[in-house]
Amino acid sequence: MSIQINRKMLSFAGVLGLLAIGIVTIVFATPAVSTTGKTQSHDRGPDSCTPVIIAHRGASGYAPEHTLGSYSLAITMGADYVEPDLVMTKDRHLISRHDNELGLTTDVANHTEFADRYRTQKIDSNEVSGWFTEDFTLAEIKTLRAIERIPDIRPGNARMDGAFQVITFQEIIDLVKSLQISQRRTIGIYPEIKHSNHFKKLGLPMEELVVNTFHQNGYLDSDAPVYIQSFEINNLKELKKITNLRLLQLYDSKSLEPADQVLLGANITYGSMSTPEGLAEVAKYASAVGPDKSYIIPRNADNSLGDPTSFVADAHAVGLKVHPYTFRAENTFLPEEYQSDNPSKGARGDLTGELQRYIGAGIDGLFSDQPDIPLRIRGPCL
């Protein structure tokens, strides 16, 4: 019911907005404003081409991840979707970080005023030491600056250490909606809810807040340019009940169990979720699956690519799109046959070669730190 009302309000505002913006456009000679996530007639939508290119933590191969810099680079390169990981602050703000530990990707260690927040705790099954987002308010986190996670592999990114703040989920939505105007296309948003169970136990559940944020911003239905991802199962099932937005089940290594399932003693591994029967279960709540890329083409003992499995066909058979992760251009991440001879740590190899093998295996989309590379070879487009 509340969704019905929102949709009417959106239409009303949309008509008025387009009227005024039409006039503004004539006078200013600027492009039309796309205020909702909807595809307009002049637009290329984020699902128009195959494979769909998802900028992993932004264009994180070129700028510190999860910053306005990495997201704006990804969008101006032409990425279809931008991917933020989401964690929670003490005062219930969704922020964009891969980890709830802040020392890995911010300068928090240099902030003596936060030295007493350093602690050790168990997150899911792992003991972690550092500074945790759940111990900080958003205002406190806004005093920190983002730094590069892997400066030895990406010294070009580390040049921008200190240039950007940590940003909220809403700031990413604002950036996307703004850049939709100049880029004249609809840009998708593809968040991952991190450590769902951990934050739930702390009384800081994220699922409803993520959904409400999307709904309040006009992203409402399964045709909105959105996917919500998680490595857990039960939170995706909960999400299915409160939103029509599309959901994606992430897959970690085959032997591992989703964190929420460990606590339930359910004995469900990602491997069991990748069988035809397992995929059929996932298809009941998800539109797509995001496997580690080895599910699709495993590596041989010498680190070269082996033969494709039946994963893509099995997923397609139950109606699931397949969006594997993570495609990265540096040698250290590439299969043996696509690495370059350059011995320097940050040297890049032939990501295009690896991508062509996966595109040949029939994937529908992919997560990449260097979205420009798959963008130059992908197609066809509708």
| Region near a copy of itself per CB under 8 A, out of 93-101, 299-307, 351-359, 369-377 | 369-377
Here's the x/- map for a copy of itself, 314-353, by CB under 8 A: it reads as ---------------x------------------x-----
326 CB burial (10 A radius; 0-12, 13-18, 19+): middle
**Residue 74 and residue 82 in contact, taking contact as beta carbons nearer than 8 Å:** yes
175 binds a copy of itself (CB under 8 A): yes
Cβ-based nearer residue to a copy of itself, 22 or 276: 22
Among 46, 69, 205, 324, binds a copy of itself (CB under 8 A): 69
- Which position has the token pair 């039946």? 310
In a 3-state reduction of DSSP, which class is residue 10? helix
Query: Contact 180/186 with Cβ under 8 angstroms?
Result: yes
Whose CA is closest to 368, among 337, 338, 336, 323? Answer: 323
Nearest approach, Cβ of 42 to a copy of itself (angstroms)? Answer: 13
Residue 363 contacts a copy of itself per CB under 8 A: no
Which residue stretch of 21-29, 269-277, 292-300, 356-364 sits at the interface with a copy of itself (rule: CB under 8 A)? 21-29
197 interacts with a copy of itself by CB under 8 A: no
In angstroms, give the least distance from the CB of 377 to a copy of itself. Answer: 11
Residues binding a copy of itself: what is the number (CB under 8 A)? 60
In the list 3, 13, 242, 264, the residue contacting a copy of itself (rule: CB under 8 A) is 13
What DSSP string runs through 218-286?
T--STTSSBEEEES-SHHHHHHHHH--SEEEEEE--TT---HHHHHHT----HHHHTSHHHHHHHTTT-
Beta strands in the chain (DSSP E): 52-56, 81-83, 85-88, 94-96, 119-123, 126-130, 188-189, 192-193, 227-230, 246-251, 288-291, 321-322, 365-368
Minimum distance from residue 309 beta carbon to a copy of itself (Å): 32
Residues binding a copy of itself (CB under 8 A): 6, 9-10, 12-14, 16-17, 19-21, 23-24, 27-31, 33, 35-36, 61-63, 67-69, 72-73, 75-77, 155-157, 159-160, 162-164, 170-171, 173-175, 177-183, 216-218, 329, 348, 370, 372, 376
